[in-house]
Amino acid sequence: MNNNYFDLGSKKFLIITLVILACFFLLIVKAFNDLSDAQANMENNQPQKQAAVDINNVMNTMPRPNDSEEQNQEEQPAEQQYEPQQNRGLNVDIQSSVNATEELKPIDDNEALPAQAVEPVQENNQSLSAEQQLELQFLSARKNKDEKQYVKALEEYKAIAENSTDANVKARCYEEMADVYGIVKRYGTALSYAQRAYNAAPTTSREMLIARLYYKTGEIDKATKRVNNILQRDFSNDR
């Protein structure tokens, strides 16, 4: 009886062998289906990832001209009211676009920034020319910015802008202030100053700053629109 149980030609042995082979077949089919589903999901997600990578590459590779570069063009219409998705606890001014002739409401520069002692801008050295004095003031503000003394830097840039009637000087100050607010992630206020800088003296670098700020807040459509405007304008000027 024992010899019949282990007989390779017996019906019991054949049945056990068929069951084992069927189980292996089902496992192989299930593994193949799982692999197909995973590959399909990766292919569906690829276009979205590629779009994000493309706009990121454009942002990072776009050259920045000097601040003194100006565009001979009509000023573009202001963007619609911007509503960034950021921490509501900051309670920042979210006005992101203004007309060239529109006066912005005062912005509290000390709001939501690290507490620092604000020092007044040093008195002008009468032995220096006005241009040299101006550059010294910019150097002082830049030094505070590099040392992360953001309140001091903002106060100095604000004082320079208020004491100057030159649109290029004001635009330079507003651009630096927008950069500072971007560093501390106050993108609504940063966009307001970036737009003010562009309105005072339009340049490609200032429009790129606006595009970068939109990109950082997740407003990909607005960022893409700004970049497309720059590319179309530059290509038109090359003709």
Average pLDDT, stretch 66-79?
43
Whole-number Å distance between alpha carbons of 111 and 56: 30
**pLDDT over 50 at 198, yes or no:** yes
What's the rounded Cα separation, in Å, for the pair 182 and 24?
59
Cβ-based burial of 26 (10 A; exposed 0-12, middle 13-18, buried ≥19):
exposed
Q: 69-73, 172-176, 209-213: which has the minimum mean pLDDT?
A: 69-73
Question: Which residue type, as a one-letter code, is found at position 83?
Answer: E
Tokens of 217: 């807040």
pLDDT in tens, 134-189: 999 999 999 999 999 999 999 999 999 999 999 999 999 999 999 999 999 999 99
Q: Do the Cβ atoms of 179 and 216 come closer than 8 Å?
A: no
Contacts of 196 (CB under 8 A, 6+ apart): 98, 104, 171, 174
Please name the amino acid found at residue 151: V
For residue range 82-126, list pLDDT tens digits in order: 444 443 333 333 333 333 333 444 455 444 454 444 444 455 556
Residue linked to tokens 């720059």: 230
Tokens 């003031």 belong to which residue? 137
Q: Sorting pLDDT into bands at 50, 70 and 90, what band is 69?
A: very low
Q: Is the pLDDT of residue 222 over 80?
A: yes
Question: How does pLDDT run across 3-36, given as a tens digit for each residue?
Answer: 555 555 677 777 888 888 888 788 887 777 777 7
Cβ-based neighbours of 236, under 8 Å, separated by 6 or more: none
pLDDT (0 to 100) of residue 15: 81
Kindly report which listed range (17-26, 41-50, 177-186, 212-221) carries the lowest average pLDDT score: 41-50
pLDDT of residue 9: 60
Q: Whole-angstrom Cα distance, residue 180 to residue 111?
A: 13
Angle, alpha carbons 36-40-43 (nearest 5°)? 140
Q: What's the whole-number average pLDDT of the chain? A: 72
Q: What is the average per-residue pLDDT within 200-204?
A: 92
- Contact between 42 and 175 (Cβ < 8 Å): no
Please give the Cα distance from 206 to 74 (Å, whole number): 15
What's the one-letter identity of residue 214? Y
**108: alpha, beta or left, given left = phi > 0 and alpha = psi -120 to 50?**
beta
Whether 204 contacts 227, CB under 8 Å: no
